[in-house]
Structures are given as C-alpha cells and as structure tokens.
Structure 1
Amino acid sequence: MTRVISLVPSLTETLLAAGIRPVGRTRYCIHPESTVADIPAVAGTKDWDFDKIRALQPDLLIIDREENAEFMADQTDIPCYVTHITAIADMVTVMQELASLLHAPALAAMAERWRAMNAPECEPWHIDRDLPGLIEWGKKPGISPDKILYLIWQRPWMAVSRQSYIGSVLQRLGVRIAAFDETYPQIDLSVFDPATTLLLFSSEPYPFLSKKGQLASLDFPHAFVDGEQIGWYGIRSLKFLERECARSVDG
C-alpha cells in the first residue's frame, strides 16, 4: 500500500472519504476531526518539518501549487504529486490521476461524480432564490445585484476572481462573481456602488463571522457564506455541488 502524506487539507479529507489513510498531514487538515487527530501533523501549509516527513517513510507527497510553497517540492527526493486546481474540470483529472497512483477505485468513482458536475451552469441566481452556501444574511439586497464580490480578507480587502476554483463552483450554481486580472486581488470597496453590489463574506480563511457587528456598518448588502463547502475542492465541495444542483432541479 502506498504511504502518502497529504499537505492539502481538502484532499486529506477526500482521501479519508475514499478509504485511504494518509500517514501524515498538515496542522490545517482538520476534517474529519475524529480521524485526523490520530494522523501525525508534519507541517503547516508552507513550513514543512522534513525530518518528521522522512521519518514517516512516505512514497508520495500530495501538495498544491497555491497552498504550499512551490520550491518545497524541489527540496525533497520524495515523489510529489502537485495539484493546481482552478476549475471544476480540474477535479476530474486530479481524481483520475490520484486513483491511478494510489490504486483507489473510490477516487475513480469520485472522478465520474466530478465529471457530472462539470456541466453548463444553472440559470443565473436572483434574489428570490436561495443563495448557495448561505450561512446568514447580514443585509439582504432589495433587488438582484449587478456585481457580486466574494471576499476572503480584510485589511486589506481581498476578493476572489471569477477565474478561480471558487468562481467555477459558484458559476456552476448560477452565481457569477466579479472577474479580475488577478486570482486574489486587493480591492478598494469605495469604487463599487452599494446600490448594485453584493458582498459575500467567506467563513474562511478570514473570520468574517466574528466581525458581524463591524461589517453591519457597511453600506453594502452582504451575506456570510460557507467558505469550506464552496472552496475546499474535494469531497466537501463535491457533495455541496451535488446537493445544490439537485435542489435546483427539484426547485
């Protein structure tokens, strides 16, 4: 059996769902809590303990180009599988390749589920429909917005562009967030019109939910959304997409 260390939280959860138990993980691999607690933590996402990693004698490291520093793969002779996921379509390939590397039929089955999700988007979201991933509204808009900003950080404000995995998931569900030249741009909220712009505050990585009182003072309509379900590519967002798409069909 392949001894794998996963340094990508969403893929650690996905491997476990497929019946594959990594021998190591990062401190940020937190799901499912009852299982990962027994798996040794060998790193953060960008600070690896190479002695701990080597001691576990892995056959494969799973890393991500955005979450982990790219140069780290060059600092080890352990084979690395490097992901760079920017759209739903990428998950089909990643699951197929990991299924082959790890001899895991369950991952191959997930690839087919991802293939089914890689379909034309639902009808455009409007204010009379449930907002995918909604935790709660802070200030609900009276009309459907012309522009939607998905925010992941404050001080400075940082958004996620439509040309991203998060953008791909939301677009599949009919929610078209704003497009930017950068994937994670710093933005100036003052250039956007509160009358036509909706802010989506992601539950992670920034703790927007703990800032609800402060954010209520903004003139913008806004909502708090589940960043893990929307942004954790792997089994978590796959199940989220399947539920939301089924609900869209039923509705």
Structure 2
Amino acid sequence: MRVVSMVPSWTETLLKAGVNVVGRTRYCIHPPKLITNIPIVGGTKDVSWDLVADLKPDLVLLDQEENPLEMAEECPVPYFATHVNSLESLQKELVRLGEHFENAHLLELSVQCLDILEAPTPKWDSKKIPGFMEWVKMPTGSAHKVVYLIWRKPWMAASKETYIGSVLKKLGAEIVEFPEGEKYPVLEIEDYPEALFLYSSEPYPFAKKISDLKSLGVDGAIVNGESYSWFGERSIEFLKNELLKSR
C-alpha cells in the first residue's frame, strides 16, 4: 500500500514499521536515513494535492490534532484519520493502524503503549526532569507544579487536555490548571511565580534563547520537545526508558 503521511509522528512510526510511505510533510524529519528520498507534498496545515496525485497513493494519513478539517474534506484520495490527544487514544489508534495495515510492529507498539498506561506512575522530581536538556534556573525545591511552554510572543502552554499533558501526567508531573477547553492557553509567566517552566525544544527554538530565558529569573529547564510530543514510536521509547528508570 502506498501511503502519503501528513503527520510527522506517524511518518516516523510507519517507516520503522516497514510501511511504504511515498509522500510526507516538510516537518517529517525522522528517521533521517529513511525520509531522504520521500517527496515533500506540503506541511501539516497545507498540502499540494497535485503533488499528492503525482505519487499515486492508495491512502493519505491524517490526524485531527495535527491537520485542519479542510485537508480531510478536500482530500481527493481515500484517507485514514486518527485522533491522538492522550496516551489512551494513542494506544487505540495504534490498534486501528495495525489492523488496517495488517502490521505486527504497529500492533506490538499498541501493546507497549498499554504496558506504559498500566505501569505505576513515578514520583515527579523537579531536579531530575525527563527529557532534560539544559537548566534555565535550577529549582531549590521539588514540589513545583509544571507549566510546559511551546511558544513565546505570546507565551503558550500545553494543558493537561493535550497529548503532552498526558505524557507529563504519566511521568508524575502535576500540571498547572488552565480553564477547561483551552488546550494551548496563552499566559503571562509572572502569573505563575511558583511554577517550574519546561521550555520545549520545539516548535519554538527555546534552546537558542537560553540567555533571554535566564533573565526571567524563574525556575525552569529546556526539555526535548520531540520526546513529549511525537506520539508513536518516539514517545513510547521515551516513556519506556523513563518508567524503567523509576523502578
């Protein structure tokens, strides 16, 4: 089956599962050695259907959180849409994909995801942050609530209603409460003086702004954004390793 994947996380996961991915987005950068010769047909929010048609795909893979509804409505070939907004939904979607592609690797990943969901939740330690890359300001205590930042100007966070929030919860973090329904709320850092800020390495390049972040004087660290947000193969491996450490 020839597949065009418009979801970076799924592109990586399908390629590692041996699925024939013939088209991708410009953000599908993993695994580097396997994506090199796969044509780019757009981004996660835009697509050239002419380029897709040239590839003669049997299926276009979409996700409700990653791609706009218009992409599904305008898709000229059959599509398969997932909806991943938590570890629980990831497990279910891996089963759906595994059955659809009759792929043992994807079904095995669904079992691994179920094992993660059933594993004991570790105690969060603000001085030993999973996916840690660099300190902005090391905290003096360990009972911080967490704010996971994905953007600046304006500051935007990922709430507990997102996949990132689900990963943080599984790792034992207590996430600052935001108004219900706000998946990616805009906020002011000074409103959370006792929070531990996790600055994601993507989509905003916080790691390149470390000097500016240090000047804010708030507890926080740069973390690997791919580990927290790339659902599928990458975050499953990340969580397996982190949960194994805690045992």
Same fold (TM over 0.5): yes
Deviation by residue 1:129-161 (Cα, 9 ceiling, x = unmatched): x21111111110101243211000000000010
Superposition map of 1:105-116 within 5 A: 105-116=104-115
Contact 2:60 / 2:78 at 8 angstroms: preserved in 1?
yes
Q: Which residue of 2 aligns with 1:17?
A: 16
Q: Which residue of 2 aligns with 1:6?
A: 5
Superposition map of 1:35-46 within 5 A: 35-46=34-45
Paired residue type of 2:198: L
Gaps of 5+ in 1: none
Q: Which residue of 2 aligns with 1:70?
A: 69
1:191 aligns with 2:225: no
**RMSD of aligned C-alpha atoms?**
1.3
Paired residue type of 2:146: I
TM-score, structure 2 normalization: 0.95
Superposition deviation, residue 179 in structure 1: 2.7
Contact 2:65 / 2:85 at 8 angstroms: preserved in 1?
no
Superposition deviation, residue 77 in structure 1: 3.4
Contact 1:164 / 1:183 at 8 angstroms: preserved in 2?
yes
Paired residue type of 2:171: L
Distance 1:145 1:245 in 2: 19
Deviation by residue 1:178-204 (Cα, 9 ceiling, x = unmatched): 2322010001112122xx211100000
Q: Which residue of 2 aligns with 1:154?
A: 152
Which deviates more from structure 2 when the two are superposed, residues 196-205 or residues 75-84? 75-84
Distance 1:105 1:72 in 2: 29
Superposition deviation, residue 86 in structure 1: 1.2
Distance 1:209 1:117 in 2: 29
Distance 2:105 2:196 in 1: 39
Deviation by residue 1:205-232 (Cα, 9 ceiling, x = unmatched): 0000000011110121110000001110
Deviation by residue 1:14-42 (Cα, 9 ceiling, x = unmatched): 00111113011001100111110111111
Q: Which residue of 1 aligns with 2:162?
A: 164
Q: Which residue of 1 aligns with 2:204?
A: 206
**Hey, which bits of structure 1, 4+ residues long, moved more than 3 A?**
none
Instruction: Rate the CA distance shift 1:138–1:75 in 2: closer, same or farther, 3 A.
Output: same
Q: Which residue of 1 aligns with 2:228?
A: 230
Aligned length: 245
Gaps of 5+ in 2: none
Instruction: Rate the CA distance shift 1:120–1:187 in 2: closer, same or farther, 3 A.
Output: farther
Superposition deviation, residue 126 in structure 1: 2.5
Distance 1:96 1:6 in 2: 17
Superposition deviation, residue 120 in structure 1: 5.5
Distance 1:244 1:126 in 2: 12
Distance 1:89 1:186 in 2: 26
Deviation by residue 1:50-86 (Cα, 9 ceiling, x = unmatched): 0111111111111111221111111123121112211
Distance 1:12 1:208 in 2: 25
Q: Which residue of 1 aligns with 2:177?
A: 179
